[in-house]
Structure 1
Amino acid sequence: MDLENYHENLLASVGSLADADGEFTATAFARHATGLLTEAGEFDDADVLDFEGTGIRRRKLKVNGYDLDNADNSVALIVTLHVGSPEIQVISGTEARAALKALQHYLMESVDGTFLEGREESAPAYQLAYDLRNRGKNVTRYRLYLLTDGQLSNRLRELPSESLNEIPVDYQLWDINRLHQLHESQSGREALQIDLREWRSDGLAALKVESAPEFATYLASVPGTVLAGLYGKYGSRLLESNVRSYLTNRGKVNKGIRETIYSSPQNFMAFNNGVTATATSVVMDEDNSTILSIEDLQIVNGGQTTASLFFVDKEAKGKDVLENVFVPMKLVVVEAAVASDLVPSISRFANSQNAVSAADFFSNSPYHVRIEELSRRVLAPATSGATFNTKWYYERTRGQYENEKSKVSQAEASRFDRLYPKSQKFDKPALAKYLMSWDQRPHVVSGGAQKNFVAFAATVQQAWDKDDSAFNEIYFKESVAKAILFTSIHGAIRKAPWYKQAYLANIVAYTISKMASLIEGHGRGRLMDFASIWQNQSVPEHVINVALDIGESVQVALTSEHRPTTNVTEWAKKADFWNLIQAMPMRLPDTFVAALADPASIAQARKTAKDTQKIDDGINQQKRVFEVPLEHWLELRDFSIGNGVGSPTDMSILDMVTGRKSGFPTERQSARLLNLAAAANARGFQTFSP
């Protein structure tokens, strides 16, 4: 996709997001762009807010977003310049610097406390300023981002770092060109370009060991100062997404690591398990014995070690505590073309000896494949006045919707739009938000998209392992109904006269959870009629009215001046607030309860759907067996016999597909064959996978 097409798609995405959420396109751009950078690893969980005003001496202040939840204790602040023009516009250096200066002034006045004087305490900009002031010296770095859909002048490509109260201040410039490059990258993230000579003038000595054709492996002894320095400069961007999600001891140092550093640093190499990392390329010296630079370095195991070295070095305040510390490292250099598939597997197996469940690597789960398949197959009922059916598009991978649309002709693209309206597109974080809200975990939803998705993954993985047939057509329809419920309540609250233009996402999540709790406790055994919401593709007015009553009470409780946690956003993340909302006395109107669904009919529909899914699974397994060429089955047979994989029964079934016996495997036998292939894969068989 060229730059102009990307810009056009960006405008369309922002426009549809603005229409869906009923917000200004500038706000929608901030939400869309921060979402892209969150997926790319720039942010852990960025929040969007709209503030533009004046500070002391009438200087301009502006902030459009922030991320305070970084593993490296850095703070990211965001300012946007949204153009919204059909043509790509050039942003001058003067405009860009003015926007960043307004953001810098907001930061300065927040830190010194002047911003807090005479402003509304419940306002998001006040809450952010309060947090920034309270953090004081406990910040490793301020990262100030400029995001724009324009094209930055060639004269402004980089801004030098500054400092505020001896804390480094870095500037990050993201314009349409850089966003386009990010979109085009195969990994979906911007590759770090690291010159190791910044920390060691002669590079890093490394030994290349025998490896596979698609990757090379290097072993090295990395000075602790280098790892600490890399983490200090690049922070959690160094950590592969699974590692970043599970590095929860933010700003804390592993006790054993600290003791070893201070008491016997020379033993660190022997005591520590070391670091496993990946990269897409390295530059070696002439002797091929020293790594000079690394592209797209990602630590897939050893994130806690890396972060701990940085924080020990920081607390030492200039003392050379890491001078004699060295860390063993295995660096796997993977070709860029296969990195997106191979790196998650390296991460998974590098962490296999730790207490990390399969849910940690949930992005590759068959659950997503199932939901994607259902979204392409299940037709949604036509809405009132429409003459055609549509579908809800589940975007399993980033950019999948636009990529699929761009591959067809203009006429086919129009049909694609009619079949899959952009308003009916949803992705993994959105699905997690809809379902976790109804599952009465609003405090987890309020923790941000990434944390909520991790919790959702663990819940779904457990249920999938127990009975994957429960994830069927009824499950898909109910999930879409929950999406319709969430977005409908979101829109209704946003327009409510009592809504104070703040904390909408929190209020909506708590409103839906409270409604689910009330039905559970006071619905006389009846259940929400999601089948009706799916059939009508809308939420009944009586449900919206109850939601508005709940939402108003949630807003009052959330912003109460008597709340025990000053920061409203942080208060929304606490289980204590959910306990408060759960205990809040409310009753459901009789008309609401009467409209709930009979649980017996829902149970029967779900049972039928599970039975159907099991049949579909069996048919799909037989279909997969039929798709595998004869020669591949013959190779599997030879491999299985030579490596002791499979039982005599497996070999007997295998004889059917290799022509040694007549007949074709049943559904149950097909499942055994595919399990045999998986077992062979685990032993090194590479011809095909189940």
Structure 2
Amino acid sequence: MADLEIVDLERFQRDFVQEVIARADAHEEGALREDELTQVFIEYLVDIGEIEDAEISYHQARGVKANGFYVSEDGDRLDLFVTDARLTEALESVTKTDVDTAFKRVRSFLEKALDGYHKSLEEASDGYDMAWAIWSSRRDLVSARLFLVTDGLTKIEAIEDFRIGEIEISHHVWDLRRLYRADVSNAGHEPIKVNFEDLTGQPLRCLAVPQTSEKYRCFMSMLTGQTIVDLYLRHGPRLLERNVRSFLQLRGDVNKGIRKTIQEESDMFVAYNNGLSIVVRGVTGEENGIDNFEISSTDDFQIVNGGQTTGSIYRAATKDKYDISKIFIPVKITEITGTEYVDEVAPKISLFANSQNKVNKADFTSNDPFHVKLEEVSRKTWAPPKRGLQKQTRWFFERARGQYLDSKTREGTPARQKAWEAINPRRQMFTKTDLGKFENAWSQLPQIVARGAQKSFLYFMAKLDERGGIEVDEEYFRRLVAKAILFKETERIVTRQKFGGYRSQIVAYSLALLSHCTAQRVDLEEIWESQDLPEALAAFIEEITVLAHKHITNAPNGQNIGEWCKKDLCWERFRETELDVPEAISKGLSSRPANRLKKGTHTADAPSSEEAALIDAMAHVPADTWFGISSWAKETHNLQGWQRSLSFSLGHLASQGRKPSRKQAVQGQKILSEAQSLGFAVNQEDA
């Protein structure tokens, strides 16, 4: 390494280790630093597009070890992690023996898991869920990637892949040098270099499109189905990092149609399929006649449109064993000719080209205005001091990875850094995925939180897009921080309970039930002002956590607990829990004014018989109920603005004895149902 890189790497190592230690120490009961190191690595690898997601799941026994895992939604790909934690003040070398030993242990865990290792483990242990997930996917698995993550430095260049039955096993070493280089790369991810001569034995013959802009040049060509399979086997979902939907599963009609074509009419694939759009940042090759070009290799290879096609061909060949010898895919390769144009052009190509499935604005999150505004508000909003203290602090929203440490480092001297950290405590830093957990748990979606940080966050962004956005101001930020305090304090309560596992699920389900049984009327402003939970509320949450633990660990029909928590039915049954809200809590709930207006008469337009019945049903809902929903929704920030207004209008109509219109009745029914699902108490006679 160059001397300059050594200096930067040493700085990166110090910051990395300090982040791991700070995160571990931020837990009231402390946490395994090795777990936190694994978690930080996973977050980096998600950010740079190397993996989709992963769960921390530590297990070690004689000859076996694993620290985390991820099974793709359709069960055909496994990522399994093993950690070599050093956490020293200076960079350390990880020997070949250390690497070989780590991989031997994680391979042994995989082999045992495939043979039913979970049956010998305690069900409450993290290792049980990990082993069970692997065992339950054993018939679907096509490939498994074994990751060694370490904060040391290795010199291993390559490890030979092998197979376990039909499963192809590959090895991936991520040491601190590799993580540093990926993190500081201009593209924000580790670029994929594709050498067509190595991949297929010859350069890729293309038609060169006349260049009309300095921003890009374009080539048209064809790839074989086997080339697509080989590319995906080598690089996995990283190929699709810039694709707005990344890696879609075989669920939509388009994906099913692609699979059917491969199975029944593979010779018609070119005619039926729109092909792939590929973006690269460098092309090596030579002209071969007028407008003809032969590409030998490309840098930063990304499929920005064609995730369905790529995934479908890969699964057809590896999982379904279909013949893909007649599959050819038309491709458009766009070379972005200037680094400054990558983030401008590539997302637009992806957005405009992706027309086969609906694309939400929520799919583009890195510079989403919502996050930019939230970051801005977090930097200027001071939190009140805790009881008995005088010093005010801030809650630091980390929109992009590393912002917290970067801001601290810019303070210069150790004394100034210490002063900055006193104002911006590490325990008050939260990320985009944290945000998703806070919001989804309080929105009574614990089953979504249980599906993993990335899925939870993307679900929140999708719902945000459907809702038409949220006005991010200081009021929204205060309420968000109150939810963060609720979440973090509930984590501490669950840790103290020593349930033995499933902390994240217990926390999500406990807060969802609290939100439901109080109709989301917990005074969030009071929590913000005190920066803590009232004693009565903390005691009530502790009571709920016992119920949550009992519920999720008694999965019906012997289901796996982790999978049970991800199901809607799990929440639907827990939501039925009879729970009396203590008087000390109910007194502090936000009130709902009962507005009363004089009644009158009105006739509705002529509807169908079904519509007439619905109109009559909505007309029988008392005005006080509609006014209550409108007031409750405003206090709790539920429903959209037009829904709150419609609730008030429906109340006004009811108070005058007038029936709603056809459209008002339809929307009113949805509003009533949504309010009830979130805990708003409606008199059964009213509904």
- CA offsets 1:89-126 (integer angstroms, 9 cap, x no match): 1111111211111111111111122x245332342212
Q: How does 1:375-390 map to 2 (within 5 A)?
A: 375-390=378-393
CA displacement at 1:531 relative to structure 2: 0.8
Q: Secondary structure at the match of 1:151?
A: coil
2:235 maps to what in 1?
A: 234
Q: Distance in 1 between matches of 2:249 and 2:558?
A: 21
Aligned partner of 1:148 in structure 2 is 150
Deviates more, 1:539-548 or 1:308-317: 308-317
Q: TM-score, normalised by structure 2?
A: 0.80
Q: Quick one: which of 28, 33, 37 aligns to 2:45? A: 37
Contact 1:71 1:251 in 2 (8 A): no
Of the three residues 534, 556, 568, the one matched with 1:540 is: 534
Q: How far apart are the structure 2 equivalents of 1:295 and 1:389?
A: 49
- Cα 1:80/1:599, change in 2 over 3 Å: farther
TM-superposed deviation, 1:451: 1.4
Partner of 2:366: helix, strand, or coil?
A: helix
Query: Counterpart of 1:489 in structure 2: which amino acid?
Result: T
The alpha carbon displacement at 1:72 in A equals 8.1
3-state SS of the aligned residue for 1:199?
helix
C-alpha deviation, 1:71, in angstroms: 6.5
Identify the residue that residue 185 of structure 1 maps to in structure 2. Answer: 185
Which residue, out of 6, 10, 13, partners 1:4?
A: 10
Secondary structure of 2:65's counterpart equals strand
Q: Aligned pairs, how many? A: 590
Change (3 A) 1:337 1:4: farther
Q: Which amino acid aligns with 1:185?
A: S
The 5 Å alignment of 1:434-445 reads 434-445=438-449
For residues 48-99 of structure 1, give each alpha carbon's deviation from its aligned partner in whole angstroms, at most 9, with x where no partner exists. Answer: 0121112xxxxx1111000112678210110101111111111111112111
Counterpart of 1:619?
none
Verify the 8 A CA contact 2:396 2:424 in the aligned structure 1. yes
Select the residue among 583, 587, 606 that pairs with 2:576: 583
Does residue 284 of structure 2 align to residue 291 of structure 1? no
Pick one of 118, 126, 129 that aligns with 1:127.
Answer: 129
Matched residue SS, 2:364 = helix
CA distance in 2: counterparts of 1:180 and 1:252, whole angstroms: 41
Alignment check: 8 A CA contact 2:249 2:308 kept? no
Does residue 46 in structure 1 map to residue 54 in structure 2?
A: yes
Name 1:103's counterpart in structure 2: 106
Match for 1:27: what amino acid? D
Per-residue CA shift, 1:440-485, capped at 9, x if unaligned? 00101111122111210122223345xx5x4321111000110111
Match of 2:497 in 1: 496
Deviation at 1:160, TM superposition (A): 1.0
Aligned-pair distance for 1:299? 1.4
Inter-CA distance 117–451: structure 2 relative to 1 (3 Å threshold)? closer
**Pair 1:403–1:264, CA change in 2 (3 A):** same
Is 1:511 aligned to 2:505, yes or no?
no
Instruction: Look up the equivalent residue of 1:556 and give its one-letter code.
Output: K
Give the Cα–Cα distance (whole angstroms) in 2 for the partners of residues 70 and 379 of structure 1. 41
Say if 1:474 and 1:605, in contact at 8 Å, map to a contact too. no
Q: Deviations over 1:592-630 (max 9, x none)?
A: 1112233569999998999xxxxxxxxxxxxxxxxxxxx
Spell out, residue by residue over 1:18-39, the C-alpha distance to the aligned partner (whole angstroms, 9 max, x if none): 1223312111111111111122
Percent pairwise identity: 30
CA contact (8 A) 1:565 1:571 kept: no
Distance in structure 1 (CA, Å) of the matches to 2:583 and 2:184: 54
Write out aligned runs for 1:161-560 (5 A).
161-209=161-209, 210-240=211-241, 242-245=243-246, 247-249=248-250, 254-285=255-286, 287=288, 289-315=293-319, 317=321, 321-334=323-336, 335-352=338-355, 354-410=357-413, 412-465=416-469, 468=470, 470-497=471-498, 499-500=499-500, 502-520=501-519, 527-560=521-554
What's the Cα RMSD here? 2.8
What is the alpha-carbon distance in structure 1 between the residues aligned to residue 459 and residue 547 of structure 2?
Answer: 27
Q: Tell whether 2:586 aligns with 1:593.
A: yes
Matching residue of 2:24:
18
TM superposition shift of 1:9: 0.8
Question: What is residue 67 of structure 1 aligned with on the other side?
Answer: 70
Map 1:627-666 to 2 at 5 A: none
Give the whole-Å Cα distance in 2 for the aligned partners of 1:118 and 1:268. 48
* TM superposition shift of 1:295: 2.1
Off by >6 Å, runs of 4+ in structure 1: 250-253, 600-610
Give the SS at the match of 2:331: strand
Q: Secondary structure of 1:254's partner? A: helix
The CA distance in 2 between the partners of 1:323 and 1:64, in whole Å, is 40
Compute the TM-score of the two structures, normalised by the length of structure 1: 0.80
Return the alpha-carbon distance in structure 1 between the equivalents of residues 119 and 558 of structure 2.
Answer: 20
Matching residue of 2:614: none
User: Is residue 26–residue 426 contact of structure 2 (8 Å, CA) maintained in 1?
Assistant: no
- Give the Å deviation of 1:338: 3.9
Q: CA deviation at 1:325?
A: 1.9
The 1:446/1:262 distance shift into structure 2, 3 A limit, reads closer
Shift of 1:429: 0.9
Q: Deviations over 1:369-414 (max 9, x none)?
A: 2211111121111234544322111112222222333344325544
Query: In the aligned structure 2, how far is the partner of 1:292 from the partner of 1:230?
Result: 15
The answer (yes or no) to whether the contact 1:73–1:250 under 8 Å persists in 2 is: no
Change (3 A) 1:119 1:353: closer
Report what 2:4 is aligned to: none
Which 5+ residue runs of structure 1 have no aligned equivalent?
A: 55-59, 521-525, 611-690
